[in-house]
Structure 1
């Protein structure tokens, strides 16, 4: 009895309970419609749901690979400001939050900058990463925008910024808010050099980012259904205690009210930027510029 109880029965239970070993990253559930998507199909579709057209949030590497000719580009080294200048701590130390965010990302902070060709035009592209502490704007993001602007002026190249942020980084207090005027001055430097500055607003673009460089573009593009605002709809609704219009603060609403120039699907983004950059830099393009929303 002991042999059956102590050896055979545990073996049988182990076999019955044994789970089939399959990777847990083969499938992705759409955050909008709930459809289960095969990850390879989702990647091939540029992380856009084929069922409901929902644009998933993506990081800098995916943006760069999709935009530059042949996925070839050079990453620009960014300044590294002092970490945790305020010695901030809430439920966790700020330094611990940074370590955790960096462990999930290949970049040191919520921005990356690259230089390469889009069509016939050498271009500087800066991409905010919402997956890194909500894309929040701290000193590192400010330094990244300034470095991107300086590189654009040095190379006589246009600057394109993909914004995605939950606003200023609270752990850096007033130092975070100071990045609003600093980045505004950097953008003016690009414009003074008579170089194009294009902003692509992605979901979400909010807070101090919207109140500074994200709304200073020569051309404003947005991805479909992106949340673009200063204060979010829930805050506004609770403040004024009124029902908000349907689709309030989404790309389509802003386009209708004159705050955007166009809405461009992710699969068309590279071609549209190529058209605009060729036109603005007075270089021959491969595609005719057409009006669309």
Structure 2
């Protein structure tokens, strides 16, 4: 997931975004700098990204939301969307989130305005006009300020979410929501209801769970989305270490995990519940026997797991696995 933020967009920032786009265009046109499997995969990915980001987003209808895991202050929610565009297991949705209605109601009254659009990678800023409702709903980030002037206010920037499963035209996302967190992208997805429309771009990504074991996945919270995507697509031989803190799994997901175990898609399942951490469970995991390793979750966990892997495997082995896309850290 991405937490990139964009401050106010002035004419100078808009012009700079076009200079940045020239650099990005050159980078994807040049031969890849790294000839490793990882380097080649990401070079091809960046070419795809440029084409996708320059196109308009597509609409998905919310079909269902359900609680996946719930704790004292933090929960994980699974959202099912339905669209008419192809999505594969492990792809990402670049979601264009919107401000919540309470924030909009508390904002200053505005009229239609001309403004510089928010630059995103491969899509530089342009001069545009939007009505008052559109400005408050999808341009300025009202969680950062109640200032509704697009020349002064921080901007809404889309966020990436890993697809947690695909079935026909239905796409599942998993999102972590914490009480008191700013009502941005995660809060937006946590509060959608059936019938709502979510706009997003669909992007493939080299960082995805392999479909053949033996492999080890170490994740926290909704970082398990990529693992669920692989399991639901028929992967096998996955050893899953999942950090949940104080969260308890909903009955439906407990049954789904039991079925993955019975079918051999999961070869083992270990849950780290507070005060235990995922690194505590790695001590007796057969890391050296794994064909691949996947790590996804918050950054501090990723750093701790990386240190544990380096201690067990050594710097050179870990680098070789990373270059070959057999060790993936997505935090």
Give the TM-score normalised by the residue count of structure 1. 0.30
Q: Which has the larger radius of gyration?
A: 1
Higher relative contact order (CA 8 A, sep 6+): 2
Point out the structure with the larger strand share: 2
